[in-house]
Amino acid sequence: MKSILPVLLCLLVLPSSLSAAEPRGGEASRFPNVVIFLADDQGWGDLSIHGNTNLSTPHIDSLGKDGARFEHFYVCSVCAPTRAEFLTGRYFPRTGVRGVSTGQERLNADEVTIADTFKKAGYATGAFGKWHNGSQHPYHPNARGFDEYFGFTSGHWGNYFDAFIEHNGTMTRSKGYLPDDLTDHAIKFIRKNKDRPFLCYVPYNIPHSPMQVPEKYWKKFADGSAVKMRHRDPEKEDPPHLRAALAMCENIDANVGRVLETLDDLQLADDTIVIYFSDNGPNGWRWNAGMKGKKGSIDEGGVRSPCLVRWPAKIKPGTKVRQIAGAIDLLPTLSDLTGVPMISTKRLDGRSLKPLLQGEAADWKNRFLISFRGGRKKSGPTVSVRNQRYRLDAAGKLYDIKSDPGQEKDVAADHPEVVQRMKTAAGKFIAEVKDQIGPDDRPFPVGHSASTPLPARDGVAHGSVQRSGRAPNCSYFLNWSKPGDKITWDVEVAEAGDYEVVIFHACPPADVGATFEVSHNDARMTAKVTGAHDPPAYGMEKDRTPNRGSESYVKDFKPMSFGTITLKKGRGPLTLRAVEVPGKQVMEVRLLFLNRK
């Protein structure tokens, strides 16, 4: 289906200073290229370089063998916060990010990203994959320094085969398996910009659910015989989920190999910095070197990530970095390695890892890394503190990670002075960010670009209206069945004017004819559903697991223009309210666009 419409659409460290090096020759054309791979829900143990014999990841492993491998690299416990820290070099609560859905994933518009920084230095900038830091301008990747974007901006997508995603704000359908197509577009970008410096960011969408993977990768794991290494509590494992995750990791490896081969073919490998890491711990119970916790946890297993860095011109093969580090360090590190000057005037919390990568760390200063998870528990935010040897967990228990990586023996009573220092660091951090970790009251912006998407994810159901799944990401509204039932979005109109209302909808023939009102403050218009579109839900036929739990299946919703509404500047609920419902429902709603005329 063609459409001219735009698509729908933790680590924390104590502050340090950084002065960027001069670029080689002082010219943008002499800067090295940068490629960053980010896996989604892949644990530290999901690579063969870390000793997992259940799978084989030779191309990813080669980055560590031919370059550097961080032994203790930390990220956040869930997706969007890690992405914010990578993009900005700042603690994620400082950036506006509070969660992973319903707008909480948005990176404040005044933050300066790695793409802004490298674009200013003359780099071509492209991102290919899952963004997860805001869908509307000024949060959209094309508004955050990325000239080229192909992927989806939500935290979850419901189908990975021939999926409806976006290319620079225009709806398109991907070809085949989504990670393969993301890689195709990344390679195209690299080839197009081979004669100038480029920053290529590839945030893959797997092994995040849905657990879909081509047969080519699944067949090795289908009967379970390949899985020899088990989680430390094997009874917790979900075999189909585990096998699918491993197969998806092997697909990532194949795609990383394709990009590395492209760099070789173009004779760019020696002067290209390649980084590989993940956004949080594994999304299921599987082998992870005996560590405690998984995704969502701020114990070692939830926040320890792979991090491999290759730059043949400057980093010796086989370099092992044992000092603790994290996602928040990557922007200052890349600035220091490339000589691209930092342009943000905000406080940086990361530090350059260049001395560790190039064997110049004799005077490396110890520090605390603070893993933070907030906003979900009634008891308030939770904090875990890591130094080079110990982890203080959220309950105040102290573990000697050097001798007890599985966090099995509390040694707090033996080291009260260590506990006190770590508690002081945690308290200082909470005091600094306490004003940024409360409920998210930011409206969704309208009018910053020609078209503004308002997905069901960001809306609120009222009356009998329900979501298609408990998880908001990639869901749609259904059961809009009674007069007075409504759907609202908290929006702020930045530019007054006439806006076309386009809704991606589904409606069986028997339900055609319902009327509803669209309103925002004192602006109103009435519309009628005049055409049927009744596609089936799909995605289940590609799943390698028997059910999705809280996540929704998908449909091919059809865009329909319902007229024009004149909006004034200001904040207020954009409301769809049922007026007459002659059938069982008004329609199902996946996404609303406001197109400025």
The partner residues of 445 in beta bridges, in order of sequence, read 492
Contact criterion met (CB below 8 Å) for 287 and 242? no
Predicted confidence (pLDDT) per residue in 235-274, tens digit:
999 999 999 999 999 999 999 999 999 999 999 999 999 9
- For residue 110, give Cα distances in angstroms to 34, 86, 88, 139, 144: 24, 16, 11, 10, 10
Contact criterion met (CB below 8 Å) for 267 and 212? no
Least-confidence region, from 121-135, 364-378, 398-412, 478-492: 364-378
Taking residues 131-136, what's their average pLDDT?
A: 98
Instruction: Give the mean pLDDT of the chain.
Output: 94
What's residue 505's pLDDT? 98
Predicted confidence (pLDDT) per residue in 355-377, tens digit:
999 998 878 999 999 999 975 55
Domain 12-357 and domain 444-596 have a common topology? no
What's residue 375's pLDDT? 55
Task: Give the start-to-end residue ranges of the domains of the chain.
Answer: 12-357, 382-436, 444-596
Least-confidence region, from 158-167, 236-245, 431-440, 443-452: 431-440
As given in the structure block, the two tokens for residue 525 are: 């218009």
Element (H, E) at 301: helix 300-303
- Whether the per-residue pLDDT at 21 is higher than 60: the answer is no
More confident position, 1 or 179: 179
Model confidence band, residue 210 (pLDDT cutoffs 50, 70, 90): very high
How many residues are present in the chain? 597
Predicted confidence (pLDDT) per residue in 331-340, tens digit:
999 999 999 9
Cα three-residue angle 219-223-225, rounded to 5 degrees: 105
Taking residues 93-106, what's their average pLDDT?
A: 95
Give residues with Cβ within 8 angstroms of 484, minimum separation 6: 463, 577, 578
Model confidence band, residue 515 (pLDDT cutoffs 50, 70, 90): very high
What's residue 347's pLDDT? 94
Model confidence band, residue 166 (pLDDT cutoffs 50, 70, 90): very high
What's residue 415's pLDDT? 99
Dist. CA 352–CA 334, nearest whole Å: 8
Strand order in the sheet with 12-13: 12-13, 369-373, 382-386, 390-392, 398-400
User: Taking Cα atoms as reference points, which of 512, 292, 274, 328 lies closest to residue 401?
Assistant: 292
Tell if the pTM clears 0.85, that is, is over it: yes
What's residue 26's pLDDT? 42
Preceding peptide of 416 cis, ω within 30°: no
Dist. CA 258–CA 185, nearest whole Å: 12
Predicted confidence (pLDDT) per residue in 376-406, tens digit:
555 567 999 999 999 999 999 999 999 999 9
CA atoms within 13 A on the CB side of 448: 16
Least-confidence region, from 311-315, 375-379, 432-436: 375-379
Architecture of domain 444-596: Sandwich (2.60)
Dist. CA 464–CA 116, nearest whole Å: 44
What's residue 175's pLDDT? 98
- For residue 406, give Cα distances in angstroms to 231, 289, 307, 345: 12, 8, 20, 40
Report the phi/psi class of residue 526: left, alpha or beta, with left for phi > 0 and alpha for psi in -120 to 50: beta
Class of domain 12-357: alpha beta
- For residue 342, give Cα distances in angstroms to 111, 237, 297, 311: 13, 44, 32, 21
